[in-house]
Amino acid sequence: MTMILDERHQPVQMVLDQVIESAKPEAVFLYNCKYYWSGELTSFKLCVICDCSDKRRLLTEIFDVDCDIPFDILLYTKEQFEEFKDNPSAFAHRIFTKGTMLYGNE
């Protein structure tokens, strides 16, 4: 499943498309968006769950996206995310329960 985002979230869609192409992730969650009072998106954060041997290379590819607003990427391996997503004191749990899954299977 890939969620298609509205016009206001086009920067997120651009980065999401690059993440899917580069990382071949298990899942991607949008877990933080900031907006101006006018409703314009000012920044966002994605959590990417994937198994990759070279996180530095992957992050370099993702951050090469020509995005007009600041964004951040948090990487978890599938095993890390599975281990922590059900622990209420873990950040992965907050992402899993409060974030929006943009890509993956629920």
SS3 letters across 63-83 = HCCCCCCCEEEEEECHHHHHH
Total domain count, the chain: 1
74 occurs within a structural domain: yes
61 occurs within a structural domain: yes
Distance CA 53, CA 73 (A): 17
The CATH number of the domain holding residue 96 is 3.30.460
Mind listing the pLDDT tens digit for each residue in 66-101? 889 999 999 999 999 999 999 999 999 999 999 999
Helices (H), 1-106: 10-23, 55-63, 78-84, 91-98
Print the domain residue range for 34: 7-104
79 occurs within a structural domain: yes
Cα-flanking dihedrals φ and ψ of residue 38, to 5°? Answer: -75, -10
State yes or no: pLDDT of 1 exceeds 80: no
